[in-house]
């Protein structure tokens, strides 16, 4: 699903992505995109942030509230506030306009690959349950619960939790997490990691601002280790 209000950008991206083998549904507004997704769920959503009516941030939040559909956002600027706000709203990645179709197509395939069932070959992927305080992680079933309440996590948040919890109290730099979780083997954007950690904390921590499970190691990165 491509949600973009600029007709020339929308058509250009639709044609380019179609040539790369994608079946592309398009929408001009956030409202239209949300309606279409209700009747025809997409494998991934490419979402412009600056839309008429409901803006891309709100569309992103509503899509994320409805399930784990991957989202790549398009932003006209590399503005920190826009990027961070979009990632915090639930986007999995972002591309800055003007969009180079080949770059967007590569990012789409990377997000789809990361969101797939590839966790069986990842570190710490042995079957069985792990209990950390009131948090239970089942690596075989790929489920997480807090107390007796199941927690539904989008693919990237689940991958991040599995990676961190597989090495108890080991400190991971942001770049290490970008390489192992996001599969970015170049100097990636650490904001992807920070935003994902923030979203994950809101779901597994009693008090996200005072985390028990995902600890920040100032100036370096993160570690998993209940206090």
**CA 106, CA 223: separation in Å to the nearest integer?**
30
Phi then psi dihedrals of residue 121, to 5 deg = -105, 10
Looking at the predicted structure, is the pLDDT value of residue 181 above 90?
Answer: no
**Contacts of 131 by beta carbon, 8 Å cutoff, 6+ apart:** none
**CA 192, CA 87: separation in Å to the nearest integer?**
7
Residues 132-178 have pLDDT tens digits of 989 999 988 899 999 989 998 888 899 999 999 999 889 999 999 98
**CA 119, CA 125: separation in Å to the nearest integer?**
6
pLDDT at position 188 is 62
Strand partners, 151: 144
Looking at the predicted structure, is the pLDDT value of residue 24 above 90?
Answer: yes
| Cβ 33 vs Cβ 3: under 8 Å | yes
* DSSP H or E run through 3: strand 2-3
Strand partners, 144: 137, 151
Q: State pTM to two decimals.
A: 0.74
Task: Identify the structural domains of the chain with CATH numbers, from first to last.
Answer: 2-114 (3.40.50.2300), 119-224 (1.10.10.10)
């Amino acid at each position: 699903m491509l949600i973009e209000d600029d007709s020339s950008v929308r058509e250009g991206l639709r044609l380019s992505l179609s040539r790369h083998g994608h079946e592309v549904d398009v929408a001009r507004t956030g409202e239209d995109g949300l309606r279409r997704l209700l009747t025809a769920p997409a494998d991934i959503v490419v979402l412009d942030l600056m839309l008429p009516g409901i803006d891309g941030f709100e569309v992103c939040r509503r899509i994320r509230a409805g399930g784990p559909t991957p989202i790549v956002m398009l932003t006209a600027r590399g503005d920190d506030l826009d990027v961070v706000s979009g990632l915090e709203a639930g986007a999995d990645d972002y591309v800055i306009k003007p969009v180079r179709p080949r770059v967007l197509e590569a990012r789409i395939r990377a997000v789809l690959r990361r969101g797939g069932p590839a966790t069986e070959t990842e570190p710490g992927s042995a079957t069985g349950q792990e209990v950390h305080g009131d948090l239970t992680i089942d690596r075989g079933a790929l489920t997480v619960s807090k107390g007796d309440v199941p927690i539904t996590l989008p693919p990237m948040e689940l991958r991040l939790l599995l990676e961190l919890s597989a090495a108890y109290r080991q400190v991971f730099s942001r770049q290490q997490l970008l390489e192992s979780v996001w599969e970015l083997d170049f100097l990636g954007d650490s904001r992807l990691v920070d935003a994902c950690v923030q979203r994950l904390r809101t779901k597994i921590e009693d008090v996200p601002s005072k985390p028990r499970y995902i600890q920040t190691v100032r100036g370096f990165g993160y570690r998993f280790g209940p206090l």
